[in-house]
Amino acid sequence: MLTVENANLHYGASQALRGVSIKAEMGKITCVLGRNGVGKSSLLRAIVGQHPLSAGSVSFNGTQLNGMAPYNRARQGVGYVPQGREIFPLLTVKENLETGYAPLKRSERSIPPEIFNLFPVLQSMLGRRGGDLSGGQQQQLAIGRALVMRPQILVLDEPTEGIQPSIIKDIGRAIRYLRDSAGMAILLVEQYLDFCRELADHVYIMDRGEIVHEGSAETLDTSEARRHLTV
């Protein structure tokens, strides 16, 4: 289980997270909903080690991650799909996937065939440049790259952003498969309420750097959620 406790995060004098506590259980999909600028990406950056917390803690399956470099968090099993996907446009699809090898030992460096079962388009485009792929294909590539290191938790930053509905369905299916077959923990942040409701087991709503609501996806009060999602 991933546990974030009483997390504060600052950019200079401006505070982006205020006492945030969340949990993401193994074999469950946890979604943090919130509109633009409420601190969702900051929370994920703190979890993967791209920005330090000014107070609070992050732990995964009992190991404290605070102060640990991002590549060591990856070795602990934390996989990350950043907002905007961050695909290398001039590298091929295969080379982009191979960048996921970095935290692995030499003997472990292979692309799990499961990635191509989840996203067949990646296999058919292995030799194409990342920059030639559509936004949806790039999102599938970014998820594939994170899976190369065989994570135990997958952390995704707005996986539906700017993506056509058919590919959103494929991504939802892949996320469910990872939860059900591998017992992976999935933590995703989203603004897209329906995607979150259909997919998540547990939902948090974030507003202005704070968690303002928490509960199971089934009991989520959608009008309350929408109130926090509209400006």
Ligand X SMILES: Nc1ncnc2c1ncn2[C@@H]1O[C@H](COP(=O)(O)OP(=O)(O)OP(=O)(O)O)[C@@H](O)[C@H]1O
Where along the sequence are the contacts to ligand X (CB under 6 A)?
11, 14, 16, 34, 36-42, 83
> Which CB, 16 or 118, lies closer to ligand X?
16
- Identify whether the C-beta of residue 138 lies closer than 8 Å to the C-beta of residue 87: yes
Q: How far is the CB of 167 from ligand X (least distance, A)?
A: 19
3-state secondary structure at position 87? coil
Q: How far is the CB of 38 from ligand X (least distance, A)?
A: 4
Q: How far is the CB of 127 from ligand X (least distance, A)?
A: 33
> Which CB, 34 or 144, lies closer to ligand X?
34
Q: How far apart are CA 26 and CA 32, in angstroms?
A: 16
Q: How far apart are CA 2 and CA 12, in angstroms?
A: 27
> Which CB, 23 or 35, lies closer to ligand X?
35
> Which CB, 11 or 105, lies closer to ligand X?
11
Structure tokens at 73: 């968090």
- Identify whether the C-beta of residue 101 lies closer than 8 Å to the C-beta of residue 148: yes
Structure tokens at 116: 């191509």
Q: How far is the CB of 9 from ligand X (least distance, A)?
A: 8
Q: How far is the CB of 71 from ligand X (least distance, A)?
A: 21
Distance of CA 99 to the CA centre of its chain: 17
> Which CB, 40 or 85, lies closer to ligand X?
40
3-state secondary structure at position 197? helix
